[in-house]
């Protein structure tokens, strides 16, 4: 009733694919895979529950009664709002209020979308001022980790998106959910500890 079956499946695959790759390549231990269920389960369950409620509304002759029963909020008002997919507890949970949320895909100055420029990997989206203030060691750590850095210089649309979230930079996972966010350059080093700062267990050397 919502057309979300395949969409949810795609989000499942995106969540699991980069974790499997990290495990197969020996970057992290297998415990990373345990976060798949905890992150994806609540969102999938919420969509199923909402689809069932919506189906009850669509298939009934008593529309008003069904609407009141299915979607009335605690304040007594009936509202139907689109769900915004969000991860359950898992990697980076608690590091930022944005962690586990999706981020918009801006278009770069050359016309490409972010996914086309970054590919299937981690990306740091940072304000130009913050990235300019970053120390050389911090820059090298992002480079060594293979994190693609995108700033306002190459993506002018990024500035209002970061300002709307009240952050100076954020780290996107390969599945395009936020791993963590920081307010100023003094905290940027925390995001440079990818991937081990966000993964629960490092593989044995």
Two tokens at 153? 């210089």
Cβ–Cβ < 8 Å for 150, 126? yes
Residues contacting residue 180 through CB under 8 Å, at least 6 positions apart? 92, 95, 96, 98, 99, 170, 171, 190, 191, 197, 198
Position 204 scores a pLDDT of 40
Position 205 scores a pLDDT of 36
pTM of the model: 0.80
The owner of tokens 């693609």 is 148
Position 201 scores a pLDDT of 41
How distant is the alpha carbon of residue 73 from its chain centre? 27
The owner of tokens 């529309």 is 63
Position 69 scores a pLDDT of 62
Pick the CATH number of 91-205 from 3.40.30.120, 2.30.40.10, 3.40.190.10, 1.10.10.10: 3.40.30.120
φ, ψ dihedrals at 152, nearest 5°: -65, -20
- For each of the chain's 205 residues, which pLDDT tens digit applies? 677 888 889 999 999 999 998 889 888 888 889 999 999 999 899 888 888 877 777 777 776 766 666 566 667 665 666 667 888 888 764 456 788 888 888 999 999 999 998 888 889 999 888 898 888 988 988 888 888 999 999 999 999 999 998 888 999 999 999 988 888 766 788 787 765 555 544 444 3
Q: Provide the strand spans (E) within the chain.
A: 123-126, 148-151, 169-172, 178-182
Report the C-alpha gap between 157 and 202 in whole angstroms.
Answer: 36
Position 203 scores a pLDDT of 41
Position 41 scores a pLDDT of 93
Domain residue spans in the chain? 5-71, 91-205
Compute CA distances 182 → 27, 86, 124, 200, 201, whole Å: 25, 19, 11, 20, 23
């Amino acid at each position: 009733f919502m057309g979300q079956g395949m969409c949810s499946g795609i989000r499942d695959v995106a969540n699991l694919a980069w974790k499997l790759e990290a495990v197969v390549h020996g970057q992290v231990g297998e415990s990373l895979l345990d976060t798949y269920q905890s992150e994806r389960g609540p969102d999938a369950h919420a969509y199923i529950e909402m689809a069932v409620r919506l189906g009850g509304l669509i298939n009934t002759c008593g529309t008003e009664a069904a609407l009141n029963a299915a979607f009335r909020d605690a304040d007594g008002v009936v509202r139907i709002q689109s769900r915004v997919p969000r991860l359950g507890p898992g990697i980076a949970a608690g590091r930022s209020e944005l962690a586990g949320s999706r981020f918009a895909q801006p278009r770069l100055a050359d016309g490409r979308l972010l996914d086309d420029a970054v590919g299937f990997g981690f990306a740091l989206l940072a304000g130009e001022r913050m990235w300019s203030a970053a120390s050389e060691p911090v820059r090298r750590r992002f480079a060594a980790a293979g994190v693609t850095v995108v700033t306002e210089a190459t993506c002018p649309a990024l500035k209002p998106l970061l300002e709307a979230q009240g952050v100076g930079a954020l780290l996107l996972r390969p599945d395009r959910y936020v791993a963590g966010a920081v307010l100023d350059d003094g905290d940027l080093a925390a995001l440079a500890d990818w991937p081990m700062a966000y993964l629960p267990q490092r593989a044995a050397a």
